[in-house]
Amino acid sequence: MPITLQAHDLEQHISRIFVAAGSSASEAQAVAANLVMANLSGHDSHGVGMAPRYIDAILEGGLTPNSDVAVRVDSGMLLGLDGQQGFGQTVGVQAMNLAFERVAQHGACIMSLAHAHHLGRIGHFAEMAVARGWVSLHFVNVLSRPVVAPWHGGDGRFGTNPCCIGIPVGMDDTTREPFVLDFATSRVAQGKMRVAHNEGKEVAPGTLIDEHGQPTTRPGVVVVPQSNGGYGALMTFGEHKGFGLAVACELLGGALSGGGTWHRAADAKRSVYNGMLSIIIDPKALGTQLSFAQETLAFIDWLRQSPASPNSDGVVVAGERERTARAARKKNGIVVDDATWQEIQDAARKVGVTL
């Protein structure tokens, strides 16, 4: 049976596991809070179900607790950073805060981050920027077993390579909820396939190919080894357009950051590394702050005036579903499916913790 836990209780469980695995109390709490926020936001793929993989990565030596971001290049508006295989949830925040210092000084910052362990929900970093009234763009690659097929390809060649854009709407007393677009360039995130597999569900046609390159609706093809010992693959969204954006994220997030791209045979390692190129802009520095605020408000209002299409709830702007999910799950609790909860308990036992 699924288990339902309040966010605070779930945070404490996950934090205990990371402390036992070697994290400081503050790091463990920060990582646990980030994972639980993903669950609260409706993105269970990036939530506490990732904790077992993180524990495996620590035990195999690919994730180093208590690592800090290192500055490799600092030339004013340009920052080149290295996550040193630390928790993405902590080195990612450190990287953003360093970038924010440069934005405050120069009005903008281009920041690259290499060798961070799994950064989690990239929308978290965009939310940090829009809370300051700043625009942010993020291009991310994934160094792990390749799970996404190229357009017209028959096997996995790269990761889910997310792209994220955060834009504040309005200013001061007219501020509205921000636009936060955060999506994998695959049709769905790999973690959503793990969740669907654990829940015994099939997925929509056109999402996956199996280990033979044939269409399938079974999410397990990208979660567990198949009949030939291999795996299937996710498809990119938007056919050749999504594929093009995925390649751009690989080259910008991976090659440009110095973190590298994936071009080798798959392995069974549990570590997941991300490279990220981020661009943060203060509209005030462009001299457009007032008109920017007015235009963002006017355009979002214009969108909302569109009549709802049949069998829909009307126009939904990026970021709304996450905010709605947070309100509901904070009130009703977070449901963790039985298989995921068992995986979390098993991970806890690996580091001597009983939940």
Compute the C-alpha angle 107/131/27, nearest 5°. Answer: 105
SS3 345: helix
Report which residue type is found at 289.
Answer: Q
Helix (H, G, I), strand (E, B) or coil at 79: strand
Q: Give tens-digit pLDDT for 34-71.
A: 999 999 999 999 999 999 999 999 999 999 999 999 99
With contact defined as beta carbons under 8 Å apart, do 104 and 128 qualify? no
Q: Does domain 3-143+157-184+240-289+319-350 have CATH number 3.40.140.80?
A: no
What is the C-alpha to C-alpha distance for residues 264 and 339, in angstroms, rounded to an integer?
Answer: 31
Residue 240 half-sphere exposure, CB side, CA atoms within 13 Å? 1
pTM metric for this prediction: 0.94
Which 8-state DSSP code applies to residue 41? T
Give the number of other CB atoms < 10 A from CB of residue 201. 13
> Which residues 6+ apart lie within 8 Å of 299 measured at CB?
none
**Distance between CA atoms of 202 and 12, rounded to whole angstroms?**
32
Q: Are 354 and 59 in contact (CB under 8 A)?
A: no
Q: What's the CATH number for 187-235?
A: 3.30.60.50
Domain spans in the chain, listed from the N-terminal domain onward: 3-143+157-184+240-289+319-350, 187-235
Please give the average pLDDT of every successive group of 10 residues along the chain, which has 355 residues: 94 98 98 98 95 98 98 97 98 98 98 98 98 98 96 96 97 91 93 89 94 94 89 95 98 98 93 98 97 97 96 95 96 95 97 95
pLDDT in tens, 188-238: 888 889 889 988 999 999 999 999 999 999 999 999 999 888 899 999 999
CA distance 142 to 260: 10
Q: Please, how many CA atoms are within 13 Å of residue 347, restricted to the half-sphere of its CB? A: 27
